[in-house]
Amino acid sequence: RVTIKAVRSAFVDRLEREYFDLVIIGGGITGAAVARDAAFRGLKTVILEKDDFASGTSGKSSRMIHGGLRYLEQLRFALVRESLRERAILLRIAPHMVQTRAFLLPFIKGLSQSPAKLCLGLFLYDLLSSPWGLDHFTWLSRNTLARCAPSLRREGAYGAAVYRDCTVDDARLTLSTVLSGVQRGLLAMNHAPVMDFIKERGQAVGVVVRDDVTGRSFSLRGRALLAAAGPWTNEVTQMEGTIKDPLVRVSKGVHLLVPLDCLNAGYVPVLNSPEDRRHIYIIPWQNYALLGTTDTYFDGDPDALRVTRAEVDYLLGTVNRYFPKLRLRAESVRGATAGLRPLVHQAGSRETLSSREHRLIQTGSGVFFLYGGKLTSHRLMAREAVDRICAFLVSGGTLCFTPWKRLDNVPGLDVDEFLEKLGKVRSGTGSPDRRSLLHLVRTYGGRACEVLNMANQECEKIHPDFNVLWAEIEYAATREMACSLTDFMVRRSHLGYLMDTPDERMVEQIADRMSTLLGWTPRDKDRELDRYWSWDRNMRTFSG
Ligand code: FAD
């Protein structure tokens, strides 16, 4: 019987034999985008991720693909314009995943910013996005606002502005970006931390890697090395050894998951925190609303990040000021995530004002570091990095294909048309219901057909409350590099977040299915369960 350990061992043998054009450290959105672009340009590339793809910041963002209204306040017009252009490109290459939403800015006396200022901002936002714009912003009267957001505070409310922006599943976007590169010959490995650089005459020529699935250490060599380690960038520079000053300054951002019941899922309310004037978004996601985010300086260990009670109180306090009828309390929170923004280090800056711009540098030993930026701008950052690497290597194509090549082989249809076609092909006994089909299309794009083929006639849901099918476990384990129970529960299916209360029986059954697929021993399975429940506890409890 084939086991994951045997498959990984054979993969490591292959990596050791190869000589790469480009070795990438870090499988967040930045590393994934560089890997995809490089693979499209014909560079022989490998990407190494210490945990799972998108297990860092790229799986804990606010999930917005946006220009960033608040950057207008900081007069960063070029950054906003660039992001709005990227938003248009992502809508084209990932139409199944990137969703346009109506964002609602209520004006409430004493709570929100002045309407004149915000309308000026929205006017500029429309102007900057005009070549690739969505609908222009509109104004809602007090009465319409009361209908659209019935639980919103009435006193002092005198209307709202509605503008369009986009959201995305950040973890799935990262994975799809990696898989798109894999289709073009990229080699990708998760659970493979880079432990050291190999140097010859002061130049980095390779890396030492540990395969956490087999426990085997190995080395691999490349002509160019690039670190896209997000909040871990300063750690990697220490390993590299030629840079003294930190490259990134890290800021912590927390999101809370609360049940959606009382909110109107048609809108994304944007609230102004009375405490520090930050924008707090309430983003509908599956059965929940995602409330966030905070922005505080963090200098602890990125691997030991916890949500604190003060952060929960801050977010709930803001939401309760605008939506007093909801009476949200810490007990209403089903779970929380904390992510770290890898901001370009600027001595003496306040976190919220820190640049969302990115940097690409090459160190004395020849290693490239790419850091900063946003989820929205990942493709552009990658393009700049790969242009520079191709020039350095004097090889690889100069033409960048990523603005046109769709992710997940999604056909050039809109989601409804695709759904209709898929529904016709799969009508009959054993076919999934429309909600499951929509879930498959939004999650896998054109690859939904592969999941359905794998499901054959067994399109049974894992749990009646969720749209995830049993076949998705096999698909994740065999086609999407899910090596651990947590990879599947958290980043492939999101079931870990979707369960209102932990369902031990369901998790046990999923672990059993993964044991069969990956050849886990009973001890492996117990360890996986322990790790998963430890993630679950961290997600549902707060420190301090
Ligand atoms: P990461 O995603 O952290 O990836 C770095 C990876 O490197 C990690 O997976 C890590 O495990 C790996 N790694 C580290 N060291 C090693 C090693 N030695 N060997 C191998 N692998 C290693 N941007 C937007 O555009 N829209 C938003 O709505 C938005 N919201 C945000 C909300 C929050 C709370 C935060 C924190 C950020 C948000 N951002 C948003 C910013 C965006 O999420 C980040 O800019 C982006 O995800 C950073 O990606 P990255 O790949 O650089 O870092």
pLDDT given at position 280 = 95
C-alpha 449 to ligand 1 mean position (Å): 30
305 lines ligand 1 (CB under 6 A): no
**CA distances, 338 to each of 167, 178, 183, 193 (Å):** 18, 23, 32, 21
Tokens 């990697």 belong to residue: 236
Q: Round to whole Å and give the CA distance between 413 and 411.
A: 5
| Structure tokens belonging to residue 441 | 């299309």
64 lines ligand 1 (CB under 6 A): yes
Exposed (0-12), middle (13-18) or buried (19+): which is 109, by Cβ within 10 Å?
exposed
Task: Find the length of the chain.
Answer: 544
pLDDT given at position 382 = 98
Which residues is 188 bridged to in the sheet?
Answer: 47
Q: Round to whole Å and give the CA distance between 436 and 418.
A: 14
Q: Round to whole Å and give the CA distance between 220 and 46.
A: 10
Q: What is the CA radius of gyration of the chain?
A: 23
CB 192 within 8 A of CB 46: no
DSSP assignment of 403-415: TTSPGGG--SS-H
CB 263 within 8 A of CB 282: yes
Q: Round to whole Å and give the CA distance between 311 and 337.
A: 11
86 lines ligand 1 (CB under 6 A): no
C-alpha 422 to ligand 1 mean position (Å): 34
51 φ, ψ (degrees, to nearest 5)? -120, -115
Tell me which of 47, 55, 58 to substitute to probe ligand 1's pocket, judged by most ligand atoms within 8 Å of the beta carbon.
58
Q: Round to whole Å and give the CA distance between 16 and 189.
A: 13
Q: Round to whole Å and give the CA distance between 149 and 141.
A: 12
pLDDT given at position 114 = 83
C-alpha 230 to ligand 1 mean position (Å): 5
Q: Whose CA is nearest to atom 12 of ligand 1?
A: 26
Pairing of strands 157-167, 138-140: antiparallel
pLDDT given at position 349 = 64
Q: Whose CA is nearest to atom 47 of ligand 1?
A: 58
Report the greatest alpha carbon distance in the chain.
72
| Structure tokens belonging to residue 348 | 């003496």
87 lines ligand 1 (CB under 6 A): no
Residues in the chain where the model's pLDDT stays below 70 = 262, 264-265, 348-354, 425-430, 457
Tell me which of 61, 251, 379 to substitute to probe ligand 1's pocket, judged by most ligand atoms within 8 Å of the beta carbon.
61
Where are the alpha helices (H) located in 74-194, listed in sequence order?
77-93, 115-128, 142-148, 170-183
CB 481 within 8 A of CB 51: no
DSSP summary character for residue 308: B
CB 483 within 8 A of CB 435: no
CB 480 within 8 A of CB 175: yes
230 lines ligand 1 (CB under 6 A): yes
479 φ, ψ (degrees, to nearest 5)? -120, -15
C-alpha 288 to ligand 1 mean position (Å): 23
CB 369 within 8 A of CB 2: no
27 lines ligand 1 (CB under 6 A): yes
Q: Round to whole Å and give the CA distance between 282 and 255.
A: 10
pLDDT given at position 459 = 81
303 φ, ψ (degrees, to nearest 5)? -85, -5
Contacts of residue 143, Cβ cutoff 8 Å, sequence gap at least 6: none
Where are the alpha helices (H) located in 137-232, listed in sequence order?
142-148, 170-183
Contacts of residue 50, Cβ cutoff 8 Å, sequence gap at least 6: 26, 191, 192, 193, 194, 212, 232
Q: Whose CA is nearest to atom 31 of ligand 1?
A: 61
Q: Closest ligand 1 atom, CA of 370?
A: 52
CB 140 within 8 A of CB 95: no
Q: Round to whole Å and give the CA distance between 218 and 192.
A: 10
pLDDT given at position 264 = 67
Task: Give the three-state DSSP class for 344.
Answer: strand
pLDDT given at position 421 = 79
Q: Whose CA is nearest to atom 24 of ligand 1?
A: 375
225 φ, ψ (degrees, to nearest 5)? -125, 135
Contacts of residue 466, Cβ cutoff 8 Å, sequence gap at least 6: 495, 498
59 lines ligand 1 (CB under 6 A): no
Q: Round to whole Å and give the CA distance between 12 and 312.
A: 43
CA quadruple 235, 236, 242, 243: dihedral positive or negative?
A: negative
C-alpha 28 to ligand 1 mean position (Å): 5
Task: Give the three-state DSSP class for 360.
Answer: strand
Here the contacts of 521-527 (C-beta below 8 Å, separation 24 or greater) are: none
Task: Give the three-state DSSP class for 341.
Answer: strand
**For helices 378-393 and 29-40, angle between their N-to-C axes, nearest 10 degrees:** 50
Tens digit of each residue's pLDDT (9 = 90 or more) over 104-144: 999 999 888 888 888 899 999 999 988 887 878 999 999 99
Tell me which of 248, 374, 376, 484 to substitute to probe ligand 1's pocket, judged by most ligand atoms within 8 Å of the beta carbon.
374
DSSP summary character for residue 445: G
pLDDT given at position 420 = 80
**CA distances, 111 to each of 58, 321, 322, 409, 538 (Å):** 31, 8, 8, 46, 33
